[in-house]
Every structure is written in structure tokens, then in C-alpha cells.
């Protein structure tokens, strides 16, 4: 209970969550459009993730974390590295959801976003925007 309470009182995490929800909606719309066009959930996962990463870095820097102590190019590379791990997590989760669990791809995408959300927040807070 205290862990949940402390998470809810973390203003930066709450701003990140709100930002992530908005970006996830954009990412899901992108995913579904790409999937409907070519019926390839791998491609849809990667393209929608790229859109999400770019928005996440820009909006996260502006409204959640602020600039880091790193040079902006280095900061972006670090976010990119975290995001590449995140996309790997997403592809793995979507693959398992579709192939092993027989779920519709958008359900796998939603699950994959949840996993990568926590990974990305933790990595950014610990290594990129550590105060």
C-alpha cells in the first residue's frame, strides 16, 4: 500500500504517466493503421514505436524531466538506447501474445506498452535525468 501511495505522490511519475497515456493513444492509432494497411504486426509495432519514442523524448524533456546534465545529443542517444531495449521488449511481448497466447495483435501491443513504460521510466529516471 505504501509503495502505491508513494508512486501516486511522485509528481514526475504522474506527469510521465499522463504524457505516456496520450502518446500511447497516438502509438496505438499508428499501430492499427499500419496493421490494417499491410497486416504485418511486426512492422506496425516498430513503426508505431518509433513515433512513440520521438514524441516521448520531446514531450518528456519539455514537461516531465527537463533537460538532463548531458549534452542534448548524448541525452537523445541514451533515450534511444533505452528505447531500443523497449522496442525489443515490445516485439517480444507482442510475439508471445499473438503466437503463444493467440491474442489479437492490438492486445499484445497494449501489454507490450505496459512493460516498456516501466522500463523506460526507470531507465530515464535512474540514468538520464537523475537529479
Q: Each residue of 105-114: pLDDT tens digit?
A: 989 988 998 8
| Average pLDDT score over residue span 101-130 | 89
Residue of 3 and 128 predicted with greater confidence: 128
| HEC readout, the chain | CHHHHHHHHCHHHHHHHHHHHHHHHHHHHHHHHHHHHHCCHHHHHHHHHHHHHHHHHHHHHHHHCCCCCCCHHHHHHHHHHHHHHHHHHHHHHHHHHHHHCCCCHHHHHHHHHHHHHHHHHHHHHHHHCCC
Q: Of 51, 85, 79, whose CA–CA distance to 65 is shortest? A: 79
Question: Which of 5, 110, 6, 91 lies closest to 41 in space, CA to CA?
Answer: 91
Question: What predicted TM-score, i.e. pTM, was given to this entire model?
Answer: 0.68
pLDDT number for residue 2: 58
Task: Judge whether residue 73 has pLDDT over 60.
Answer: yes
Question: Over pLDDT 70: what percentage of the chain?
Answer: 92
Q: For residue range 62-71, what is the model confidence (pLDDT) as tens digits?
A: 989 888 888 8
- What tens digit of pLDDT does each residue of 36-47 get? 999 998 899 889
| Contacts of 48 by beta carbon, 8 Å cutoff, 6+ apart | 27, 28, 30, 31, 34, 109
pLDDT at 59: 92
Amino acid at each position: 500500500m505504501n509503495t502505491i501511495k508513494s508512486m501516486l505522490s511522485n509528481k514526475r511519475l504522474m506527469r510521465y504517466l499522463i504524457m505516456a497515456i496520450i502518446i500511447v493513444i497516438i502509438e496505438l492509432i499508428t499501430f492499427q493503421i499500419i496493421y490494417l494497411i499491410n497486416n504485418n504486426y511486426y512492422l506496425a509495432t516498430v513503426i508505431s514505436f518509433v513515433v512513440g519514442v520521438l514524441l516521448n523524448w520531446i514531450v518528456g524533456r519539455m514537461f516531465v524531466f527537463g533537460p538532463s546534465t548531458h549534452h542534448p545529443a548524448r541525452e537523445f542517444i541514451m533515450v534511444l538506447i533505452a528505447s531500443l531495449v523497449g522496442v525489443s521488449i515490445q516485439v517480444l511481448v507482442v510475439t508471445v501474445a499473438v503466437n503463444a497466447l493467440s491474442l489479437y495483435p492490438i492486445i499484445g501491443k497494449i501489454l507490450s506498452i505496459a512493460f516498456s513504460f516501466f522500463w523506460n521510466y526507470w531507465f530515464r529516471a535512474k540514468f538520464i535525468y537523475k537529479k
